[in-house]
Chain A
Amino acid sequence: GESVGLHLPTLSVQEGDNSIINCAYSNSASDYFIWYKQESGKGPQFIIDIRSNMDKRQGQRVTVLLNKTVKHLSLQIAATQPGDSAVYFCAENTRTGGSYIPTFGRGTSLIVHP
Chain B
Amino acid sequence: KAGVTQTPRYLIKTRGQQVTLSCSPISGHRSVSWYQQTPGQGLQFLFEYFSETQRNKGNFPGRFSGRQFSNSRSEMNVSTLELGDSALYLCASSSEPGTGKSEQYFGPGTRLTVT
Contacts and interface: CB of A to CB of B under 8 A. Distances in A.
Contact of A104 (B31, B44, B50): B44
Contacts of A43: 4, 90, 92, 106-109
Contacts of A15: none
Interface in B38-95: 39-40, 42-45, 48, 50, 55-56, 58, 88, 90, 92
A106 B40 CA distance: 9
A42 interface: yes
A97 B43 contact: no
B105 A100 contact: no
Contacts of A5: 39, 42
A96 B56 contact: yes
A11 interface: no
A99 B39 contact: no
Question: Interface size class for chain A?
Answer: 20 to 34
Given A99-B50, A99-B55, A6 B39 contact: yes
Interface string A43-73: 1111001010000000000000000000000
Contact of B100 (A4, A6, A32, A45): A32
A96 B48 CA distance: 11
Contact of A100 (B98, B106, B111): B98
B37 interface: yes
A107 B107 contact: no
Interface of B: 4, 31, 37, 39-40, 42-45, 48, 50, 55-56, 58, 88, 90, 92, 97-98, 100, 102-109, 111
Please list the 6 inter-chain residue pairs (A to B) with the smallest Cβ-Cβ separation, ordered nearest first: A43-B106, A104-B43, A99-B98, A6-B39, A99-B55, A106-B42
20 contacts: A2-B111, A4-B39, A4-B88, A32-B100, A42-B106, A43-B92, A46-B103, A89-B42, A95-B98, A96-B56, A98-B55, A98-B98, A99-B56, A99-B97, A99-B98, A99-B102, A100-B56, A100-B98, A104-B42, A106-B42
Given A100-B56, A101-B56, 5 more contacts: A4-B37, A32-B100, A44-B92, A97-B55, A104-B43
